[in-house]
Structure formats: C-alpha cells, structure tokens
Structure 1
C-alpha cells in the first residue's frame, strides 16, 4: 500500500495535482485535505478508473490526522496564490503560518513520510518545515524537498524556443532557490549541448527567473501558475515514488534541500555557496530519499555572477524561515 497525501488539495494547484497523482499507478491510496471542498474533489476523482482509492478530509473530526496517518508521500501546495505586484516574499506571513501548522501535523502523524513543499516562498517554507520537524525530534534531511521542478520545466521550454530542440528532451540544471534572482539556470550545462550567445543567455536567464510573472500578469489578478506547477509537482512526486517504491536507481532531479542530507556532496555545495544550509542542486534519489547531492560543476563567468547575487538573498530567505519558528515574536 502506498498512500499519497495532498495538503491544499482543493486549490488551483491542488486539484490538477491530485488528478495527476490519481493517474499514477504507484499510488494505491490518495488522501486529499483542505479547509474547504476537499470531499467534493475526492468524490470527483474517485470516478476515474485507476486503482487508487481517494478520500477527502476537512479540519473537523481529526481530518488532518486521518489524512496524514500512514502516509508515504506528502505534497504541500497549500497557501494563497500570488497576485499582481506581489512577490513570493510578500506571501510569507500568510503562507508561513499555514505551513507551520501542517508541518506540526506531519510531525505528529506521519514523521517518516517524504515531504514535498510547493507552498511559496519555497526558500523560506522548506526551512520552516525542517525547524518544526526538528522541534519534534523527527527531522530527516533526506526526506524533505522544496519542489523547484517548474524552473526546470520552464528552462527546457524557453531554451527550446531558441535552440529548436525537442523540449521533452532538453535538460537544464537550475540551481539556487525558487524565486527571482535566486533561480540560477546553468545554460552552459544544457543537454543536449547548445551554444547560446550572451544576449540569448541573459534574455533566457531573466525569463526563467521571472517566468512566474508572465502567468500572474496574463491571469490579470486571477492567480499565479497553477497548471504548470501541478505538472511539475506531479513529475517530482513520480521521481520520488519511482526511487522509493519501485526501486529505480540513477534518478537525478534538482530540488531545494537541506545540505545536511549528504555529508560529502552537501559539504561541497555548502562551501561553494558560502555556508548556506539550504540550496537547490542536482540530487540523486534512492530508496531512502536523497542518496547524493551533486556538486554544481563548472560554472561560466556569468553563472558565477548569478550565484554571487543569489547567495545574500537566499541567506535572508532561509534565516526568515528559521526565525519564524525559533523566534516567532518577530512576526
């Protein structure tokens, strides 16, 4: 039995994400939790002819406990969406409280589950999850992931519009974090190889970093990226399930993680990023979660400058998340 849980399942990301997980043959039970409408979403999905049993829970009657108990995989898209003129950091005070409360539930009811964090701002919400789990003595750095896959998906799509490659075949490592200048696409390491001129590099980098703004603007106040984020979240969840349930090896995906998860690789990355405790790099997945954190590799001069610009912002984001739990009087 493999139970997957979506916390925030009735939202703009949660509904399409739940649909995609219902179609995953590795999942035998899908539990949906939200403050409203999750039983309706569950009823709708339960009519789809795949084996996964779907249940929906609301806060009353121990809904969070029942949703989380015996979970193998937990995906968290819960939170308010970004609106025009709102940065990911503007979301912090609202979403930080939501994530803190959900993390407390995870610590109490499913401390051994793999936790995939979508709720923005990811640079801060992942440290919040970690600090709550640490308070309860159940933090396992190999099992907590910030989902940055949408940046990788966008990088494949946007670069292909220039290189004319098949976007399904393109891989661009995107490291750093998951907002603005903390997003560092390593175009010099694109596969299959392609050489961009400097103007193309700078244009593509900016578009990948701020691709979310395109969606916010196009939706004209109606929300942020939901469908593409759901696909990205389901893709990363599938990679986790393939490694931890099906036993597949050699699965490498970028993700924003605690660098303590891998003593050797994590230490190498930490040195490269001036001691940051969280960073997105290529990680190799195995049956226990993170098997290896890969080094950043050779960066171009331009990419090194991007890294220099990202580090102070990331440090601020990380400290803000940690402080939200360790010194809540500040907020």
Structure 2
C-alpha cells in the first residue's frame, strides 16, 4: 500500500504541469525600494518557483526584505545595498529586472531622464557582465528606447552580449491597450488580444488596432484618439499625480507579468509570447518592440509582423527614424560612460626593479 502511494505520487508529479514549479530560480529586483520596485517585488514574491528573491537598492531595504519574507510562500528574500553589493545581488540570478532610477516628472524631456538613468543601466549591465552573464536582463527603467541600446553596448564591450537575453519591458503598453479598448467595447480587458509594436515613448508606441481580437470597429477619428491615449497614457498618470511621480502600480503589474513569462519560458512552457523591446532585425531600427516567443535562453523566436493597415504603415514609417536616433544616442551614451570610466581608473604602478 505504501509502495502504491509512492508510485502514485511519483506519476502525478511527473505528469502535472506544476512539477516545473519544483525547479528553483533566483530573481533579482534592482531598485526594489522604489515606487515600482516595492509592488513589483510583492507581486514577484507570489511566484512559487522562486527559491530566492534578491532585492537591491541604493538605500537600506532590509526592512522591506524582512516584510516580504513573512509572506507564506516558498523561498527566501535577501537584501543588498549600494553599488558595492550590486554584483552580489545579481550573482547566480536567472532573471534580473531593473526598476531603479528617477521617475519622469511633468515637463521632463526624455534626454533629461536619460542623463539621470543612463548610468544606472550602464552599472547594472556591467555588474551582470561580471557576475551573471547568462541571466535574462529586463529593464523597466526609462527611457527604454535609449536604455536598452546603452545596456547592449556595455554588454558588448564586456564580450557577453546575447540579443536573446536583453529586454526592455513594454508590457504596460499592451496592458493599457487591452484595458482602454476593452472598456470602449464593453469587454473584459483580459479577453482582448492586441499587438503593440515600435518603442516605449509617445508616437513610437504603435498599437495595431487592426489586429485586435475581438475586432475593434470605430470611425478613423475615434481610432486615432484611442491610439493617442495609449501613446500618452504615461503622461496621463504623471499629470494626475501632479508631480509626485509616474506610473508605478500599473507598471509593477506589467513588470511582474513579464517576469512570470520569462520564468515560464525558462521552465520550458510552450507558446509563451510577450511583447518586448529587443535587438531586432524585423525593421531597419536595431531595437524594436514586437511579439517574441520566450524559451529557456530568453527569446526563442521572433514572431513575424502582422499585416498592418495603411494608417499603421504610415505611423511605422514615422517612428522608425526616431527609434534609430534613440539607439544611436543610447550607444553613444554607453561609449562615453566607458571612456570616462577608463580615464578615472588609476593606472597600475610599475613593479619595483
């Protein structure tokens, strides 16, 4: 009877989809003490497949880690503070998600945001290059259109760049599109399927309304208004918060959804498709947001572009030069950072004769 019970439990474990949760993974959240980082960490903590949730921030976050560690879920929560502990925080991580940096404030240009957050991306990419070059590195930190090319250039300089493993999280654009369109049609947003391509700022965000399922039918002017609202949804939140910050809770929701998708891909789940800003050959822009299938090593397959309407084709043609320019600026930022870093590192003294 005991033997039968053992055999039965073994068979159930080998056939159940939940058996994959028995695998243990480490996820690191950089910027875990911030407005996005805290709710993001809370949502990620609910994933039963994580053996360690590592939290990093420039400020002390021991209390946050202790608080999260009391949640009745498997795995442990660790905390790391400051630049000196960044490599330790990401070491051995299967996924590193970066929410660190300054939020966009009213009237702030993307270039100003890049000046503040570009160094964050460069430092994280440098730490990953040393401590966990095989990790899946995903950025929430804005401006994504420049941050991802910056990180890619740092990884290239360190000889560890793998285009399959670097992501800009644009899931929030999809989440917003599903919500706004679902509400307009009186449908459950969870049952709305829409592709959002391009980038992650203003007019570079291109929701493909023509591909929406169920079909979204309206006059061209109303469709244009819907596209505009999706593109400017971030500004809508910034203005509503009256200078106190940008989108945090919705971004945490979207970020956790993307991290979960990465983990499902690592675990071997089939058909895990998400939109992400990645190194791409789909268009003339070197980095482009599109649907990708996720697998054990990150991007498993780049999905073909769906058929676009005439209006969408025109919008795509306009956004591509913007994405190319952003990529060039991000790469230049990384090169300047590396040059300045090289100049500040003291030259080793010659050995005594």
Q: Secondary structure at the match of 2:313?
A: helix
Could you list the runs of 5+ residues in structure 1 that have no partner in the other structure? 260-265
Match of 1:251 among 264, 272, 282: 272
* 1:46 paired residue number: 69
Name the stretch that deviates more: 187-196 or 247-256.
187-196
Tell me by how many angstroms 1:159 deviates: 0.7
Match of residue 318 from structure 2: 309
Query: Does residue 305 of structure 2 align to residue 284 of structure 1?
Result: no
Equivalent position to 1:228, from 226, 229, 250: 250
C-alpha distance in 2 between matches for 1:187 and 1:3: 37
Q: CA deviation at 1:101?
A: 1.0
Superposition CA RMSD, Å: 1.3
Aligned partner (choices 88, 91, 97) of residue 66 of structure 1: 88
Deviation at 1:132, TM superposition (A): 0.7
| Contact 2:275-2:290 within 8 A present in 1 as well | yes
Equivalents in 1 of 2:163, 2:303: separation in Å?
15
Q: In the alignment, is residue 157 of structure 1 matched against residue 179 of structure 2? A: yes
Q: Name the counterpart of 2:13.
A: none
Cα deviations by residue, 1:225-283 (Å, 9 ceiling, x for unpaired): 000000000000000101112x1111111110001xxxxxx3xx12xxxx211101111
Residue 90 of structure 1: how far off its partner (Å): 2.5
TM-score w.r.t. structure 1 length? Answer: 0.93
DSSP-derived class of the 1:6 partner: strand
Name which one, 1 or 2, has greater alpha-carbon Rg: 2
Asked if residue 33 in structure 1 is aligned to residue 42 in structure 2, the reply is no
SS of the residue 2:308 aligns to: coil
What does the per-residue CA deviation read over 1:32-87, in whole Å, with 9 as the maximum and x for residues that have no partner? 00000322211111111111200111027x41122111110000011001111113
Measured after TM superposition, the shift of residue 88 of structure 1 is: 3.3
Give the Cα separation in 1 of the matches to 2:171 and 2:60: 27
Deviation >4 Å, runs of 4+:
none
Indicate if the aligned counterparts of 2:285 and 2:321 stay in contact, CA closer than 8 A: no
Q: Does 1:106 align with 2:128?
A: yes
Q: Where do 1:1-331 residues align within 5 Å?
A: 1-59=24-82, 62-245=84-267, 247-259=268-280, 266=281, 269-270=282-283, 275-328=284-337
In the alignment, the residues of structure 2 paired with residue 85 and residue 320 of structure 1 have an alpha-carbon distance, to the nearest angstrom, of 21
Q: How far 1:161 sits from its partner (Å)?
A: 1.9
**Structure 2: tracts of 5 or more residues without a match:** 1-23, 341-353
